[in-house]
């Protein structure tokens, strides 16, 4: 089976090495041998592994127009030209494997419809959770279930940063710098720390499990860049940790999708997922809770998913078995209507009566408080930490805009969702 690979960076090199290392076993398992015929790159002058000597090109057409190549692997990244190349490859009747969450989360509908029309495979296991098998288990092994909830840690960079803040007492910027030095964070970390990367992955997963098309813009998204060591410390005092959590919930006629920092109790299965690891929990009506755990990125873990997709495409080379399953048209719930409990940290003037004034604003907005602590005092101000019971986000926002206007309130420092507080 002749394949073409577009991109020879971290993942592309891993794919080449993994095929070389395990090709005998792969051949026995699928009854066909993978041969890498051409590899597309941008810069012809870069040094490349000897394994691909004589196969490198910088012209997409060399791969597209090669009639021997029936599978194209896209591991270039970015929206364009990757999206256009994938569309052209499918139109030409070639199977496509991609690790590109940006393209799949934004253009999945169009590309899956095209793959169905052309009766070819479009597989994207590596686009969510890197090496963790999650797309195919959802589309196949768990497909007899109604999935009501999906909750996970979908970004290794932010999990590493939060783990360093929690375990080593580092500030956000110190932990980010260390992640960049270790190669876990890019020089421009925006997509990771602002939650955009996790939102793309959640959009893909939610579209699959709730059978309704969800795009990244519909995911309510907050990053971790405003989390301070004080929040980590106060969470710990309450027996909790802070994680960047992606949640998809199915309601009667809508779905709720968000990526935000969340306080998780220490005994929550996701609380102990540390460092660059990812984990995804799914609740099915027949199977109950199922958890997937592993490395969500990296050269070889990601190559593991990509090469397995190549093998799957070879097994189904005469026709695609898995197409778009977004047959529902559910609304995405407005973030203001989503109900959960919240952790708040405020700095207020250290004077009598301030707390009761704040409590009044919460009461007027039908918000009940579960915990209130006064923390350190400095320069005539006191830090107050509050945990609410479940409340619609809109009610909280209304209360906070009233509280913000009080002259006794110096600052509303942090607002974080709490999972599992009733």
Ligand X SMILES: NC(=O)c1ccc[n+]([C@@H]2O[C@H](COP(=O)([O-])OP(=O)(O)OC[C@H]3O[C@@H](n4cnc5c(N)ncnc54)[C@H](OP(=O)(O)O)[C@@H]3O)[C@@H](O)[C@H]2O)c1
Binding residues (CB under 6 A) for ligand X: these are 7-12, 40-43, 46, 75-77, 81, 99-101, 126, 130, 297-298, 302
CB crowding 310-339: b at 16 or more within 10 Å, else e: bbbbbeebeebebebbbeeebebbebeebe
Alpha-carbon gap, residue 392 to 339, rounded angstroms: 4
User: Cβ closer to ligand X: 258 or 276?
Assistant: 276
CB 184 within 8 A of CB 239: no
CA atoms within 13 A of residue 309's CA, in its CB half-sphere:
34
Q: How far is the CB of 96 from ligand X (least distance, A)?
A: 13
Q: How far is the CB of 140 from ligand X (least distance, A)?
A: 21
Q: How far is the CB of 92 from ligand X (least distance, A)?
A: 18
Residues 6+ apart with CB under 8 A from 318: none
User: Cβ closer to ligand X: 101 or 345?
Assistant: 101
Tokens of 338: 């989503």
| 3-state SS class at 176 | helix
Sign, CA dihedral 305-307-308-312, equals positive
> Which residue, judged by CB position, is nearest to ligand X in the bound state?
9
Q: How far is the CB of 97 from ligand X (least distance, A)?
A: 11
Q: How far is the CB of 156 from ligand X (least distance, A)?
A: 8
Give yes or no for a cis peptide into 81 (omega within 30° of 0). Answer: yes
A 10 A CB-CB count for 244 gives 27
User: Cβ closer to ligand X: 99 or 344?
Assistant: 99
> Active site residue: 201, 243, 249, 250, which one?
201
User: Cβ closer to ligand X: 46 or 168?
Assistant: 46
Is 37 designated active site?
no
Alpha-carbon gap, residue 274 to 82, rounded angstroms: 32
CB 341 within 8 A of CB 362: no
User: Cβ closer to ligand X: 303 or 418?
Assistant: 303
What are the catalytic residues? Answer: 201
């Amino acid at each position: 089976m002749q394949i073409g690979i577009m991109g020879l960076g971290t993942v592309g090199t891993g794919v080449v090495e993994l095929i070389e290392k395990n090709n005998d076993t792969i051949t026995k398992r699928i009854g066909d041998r993978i041969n890498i015929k051409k590899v597309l790159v941008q810069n012809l002058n870069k040094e490349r592994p000897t394994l691909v000597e004589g196969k490198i090109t910088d012209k997409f057409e060399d791969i597209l127009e090669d009639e021997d190549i029936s599978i194209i692997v896209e591991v270039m990244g970015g929206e364009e030209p990757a999206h256009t190349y994938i569309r052209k490859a499918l139109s030409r009747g070639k199977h496509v494997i991609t690790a590109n969450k940006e393209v799949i989360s934004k253009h999945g509908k169009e590309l899956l419809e095209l793959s169905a029309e052309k009766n070819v495979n479009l597989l994207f296991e590596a686009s969510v959770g890197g090496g963790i098998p999650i797309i195919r288990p959802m589309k196949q092994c768990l497909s007899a279930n109604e999935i009501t909830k999906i909750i996970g840690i979908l970004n290794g960079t932010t999990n590493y940063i939060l783990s360093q803040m929690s375990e080593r007492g580092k500030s956000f910027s110190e932990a980010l710098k260390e992640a960049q030095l270790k190669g876990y964070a890019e020089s421009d970390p925006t997509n990771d720390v602002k939650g955009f990367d996790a939102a793309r992955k959640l959009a893909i997963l939610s579209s699959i499990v709730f059978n309704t098309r969800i795009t990244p813009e519909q995911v309510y998204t907050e990053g971790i860049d405003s989390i301070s060591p004080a929040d980590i410390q106060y969470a710990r005092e309450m027996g909790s940790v802070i994680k960047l959590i992606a949640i998809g919930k199915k309601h009667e006629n809508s779905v709720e999708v968000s990526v935000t920092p969340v306080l998780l109790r220490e005994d929550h299965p996701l609380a102990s997922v540390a460092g660059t690891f990812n984990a995804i929990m799914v609740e099915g009506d027949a199977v109950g809770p199922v958890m997937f755990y592993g490395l969500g990125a990296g050269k070889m873990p990601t190559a593991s998913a990509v090469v397995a997709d190549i093998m799957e495409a070879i097994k189904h080379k005469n026709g695609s078995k898995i197409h778009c399953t977004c047959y529902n048209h559910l609304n995405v719930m407005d973030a203001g209507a989503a109900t959960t409990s919240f952790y708040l940290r405020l700095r207020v003037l250290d004077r009598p009566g301030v707390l009761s004034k704040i409590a009044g604003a919460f009461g007027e907005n039908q918000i009940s408080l579960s915990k209130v602590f006064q923390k350190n005092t400095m320069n005539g101000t006191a830090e107050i930490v509050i945990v609410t019971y479940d409340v619609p986000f809109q009610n909280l926002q209304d209360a906070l805009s009233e509280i913000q206007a009080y002259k006794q309130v110096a600052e509303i420092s942090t607002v974080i969702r709490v999972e599992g507080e009733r």
